[in-house]
Structure 1
Amino acid sequence: MTAPLLPGWTHTYSGKVRDLYVPDTTQEAGAAVTAAHGDVVLVVASDRVSAYDHVLSPGIPGKGVVLTQLSLWWFDQLADLVPHHVVSAEAPDVPAEVLGRAMVCRRLEMFPVECVARGYLTGSGLAEYQASGVVTGIALPPGLVDGSRLPEPIFTPATKAELGEHDENVTLGQVAELIGAPRAAELRDLTLAVYARAESIARDRGVILADTKLEFGIDPTTGAVALGDEVLTPDSSRFWPADQWQPGQAQPSFDKQFVRDWLTSAESGWDRGGDGVPPELPAAVVERTRDRYREAYRRLTGHDLTF
């Protein structure tokens, strides 16, 4: 998980997928970015892929480009709903070595909450519903199955976990205890507004947006809540082909489901419940996963990416 060395920037953090840098103002490039944009970070999306809290090998070629370019496209679609943290994705602000997969972003004071909107029931929401009939304190009608469309989208927040740990679903009341009731209500309303806009755009393109995770922070230059991190990518959302949607089963998806399926198959030989490191991904799984990410970008934006 070695982050690249970039002229004018100092590496400060690596997550499962992204590497963060701050300007090195002792170098000309770093000083120029700071002078132009103020307190910023460089967010670089790598080709790393993770599943079940493990970073896997090899990565998915071009994945970081898809995540960055799709985020930039969505930020534009949502700009009238909520501001975002991107100030530049072009040279010379972005180093040539990571052009296309990196964004210069204003540093936000991030809320300690994952803001999740669900329009369909699956994943951890399905598991919670099957156990109790509710999802993060919200009662749902009986008889729902995997892939069911909900009567209306719901806000199901989670607390942010450390690297290698699981996020924990929480109620709106628990979010209010963390950040105050007015801010909790604001994040809920923004999350549902973003989901409604994105769900409509995706549906017009033959794609179901089942759920999505957003992150917000305070922009210190304006005091306003802004969208941070990535937005509405296959890593942060579940996208399903609308013409194949069939409740009652797992849905085909535009993400790393091929990776998850292979890891949990007998072919991989990996025990998910054990302490062993996952095996290397076969070339066929890497290729099919890469194609799904590219297809998500193509269907949503109407354009293709070559890499």
Structure 2
Amino acid sequence: MSVLLQTPLPNAVHQGKVRDLYEFGDRLLIVATDRISAFDVVLPNGVPGKGAVLTQISAFWFDRTSAVVPNHFLRLADGSAEDDLPFTLPEELIGRSTIVRKAERVPVECIVRGYMAGSAWAEYQKETTVCGIPLPPGIQESEPFPEPLFTPTTKAEVGHDENLSQEEFIKLVGTEVANALRIRSLALYKYGGNYARDRGIIIADTK
């Protein structure tokens, strides 16, 4: 299996760390490449088939959660006439491409943490905080929080994403949008967490 790192299609509008975006009227074609992004850096080598796996997982969750929070997902692009693209999708992009509605992007990453794990545990050991949120002493690694924490960050095009305080978050997106993002992020985490837990999987945190 070959590694797909670039997707030279017409109408390119954005290249992210992993995904490439193409514009067609009121819709976008999103192609997930096999590029690897770790610690906010794109690595030189890819993982064969990674983009296809990411796309299938995304499509699964967009379909499952559309009743919780409406989303932009329209269909998995399969190279058929139903894609309604001005060209036939190359075979190597089938299975890793989605067609979505255009939507206004909010310049933050909405992260929900349900367990004391990863970077949360590292910070807590030093400061007794998680993303600047004070917590009581004595919480153990991998222990669930009494309630999930909403910890938004900046969405950096290059470099590291930075944690946002509640005040910084509101200043960036406004009170109404900030409240909506928090409520919807927690609702999605609750749904996904329950779905996974019923199948023996713990979602410690997600974005």
Alignment TM class, shorter chain as reference: 0.7 to 0.9
CA contact (8 A) 2:5 2:35 kept: no
Residue in structure 1 matched with residue 41 of structure 2 by the alignment: 54
Structure 1 residue 182 displacement after superposition: 1.9
1:191 maps to amino acid: S
Given that residues 3 and 14 in structure 1 are in contact (C-alpha distance below 8 angstroms), is that contact kept between their aligned partners in structure 2?
no
**Aligned match for 1:208, one of 175, 199, 202:** 202
RMSD across aligned positions (CA): 1.9
CA distance in 1, matches of 2:180, 2:132: 18
After superposing the two structures, state which structure 1 stretch, 199-208 or 123-132, moved more.
123-132
Q: In the TM superposition, what whole-angstrom CA distance separates every residue of 1:83-113 from its partner, at most 9, and x where no partner exists?
A: 1111222333261431110111112111111
CA deviations over 1:48-99 (Å, ceiling 9, x no partner): 1122333234311111111111111111111111111112223332614311
| Whole-angstrom distance in 2 between the partners of 1:168 and 1:58 | 26
AA aligned opposite 1:79:
S
Distance 1:41 1:145, change over 3 A: same
Which residue number in structure 1 is paired with residue 65 of structure 2? 78
Of the three residues 160, 167, 176, the one matched with 1:173 is 167
TM-score (norm 2): 0.86
2:28 alignment partner, one of 31, 34, 41: 41
Q: 1:159 to 1:54 in 2, by over 3 A?
A: closer
| Residue in 2 that maps onto 1:152 | 147
2:52 is aligned, of 51, 62, 65, to 65
SS of structure 1 residue aligned to 2:28:
strand
1:109 alignment partner, SS class: coil
Matching residue of 1:278? none
Distance in 2 (CA, whole Å) between partners of 1:142 and 1:195 is 25
Hey, what does 2:16 align to over in structure 1?
A: 15
1:1-307 equivalences in 2 (<5 Å): 3-6=6-9, 9-23=10-24, 34=25, 39-90=26-77, 91-92=80-81, 93=83, 95-97=89-91, 98-163=93-158, 165-213=159-207
Structure 1 CA distance, aligned partners of 2:173 and 2:139?
Answer: 32
Q: Could you give the per-residue CA deviations for residues 169-197 of structure 1, whole angstroms, max 9, x where no partner exists? A: 11222211111112211111100000000
- Take 2:171 and 2:43, find their aligned partners in 1: how far apart are those partners? 36
Contact 2:112 2:206 in 1 (8 A): yes
- After TM superposition, give the deviation of residue 161 of structure 1 in Å: 1.3
Identify which range, 144-153 or 115-124, moves more after superposition: 144-153
Aligned counterparts of 1:138 and 1:155: Cα–Cα separation in 2: 10
Task: Report the Cα distance in structure 1 between the residues aligned to 2:169 and 2:29, rounded to whole angstroms.
Answer: 29
**AA aligned opposite 1:4:** T
Secondary structure of the 2:109 match is strand
CA distance in 1, matches of 2:136, 2:5: 47
Alignment deviations for residues 226-247 of structure 1 (CA, whole Å, 9 cap, x no partner): xxxxxxxxxxxxxxxxxxxxxx
Q: How many residues align?
A: 196
SS of structure 1 residue aligned to 2:6 = coil
Stretches of structure 2 lacking an aligned partner (at least 5 in a row): none
TM-score (norm 1): 0.60
Shift of 1:44: 0.4
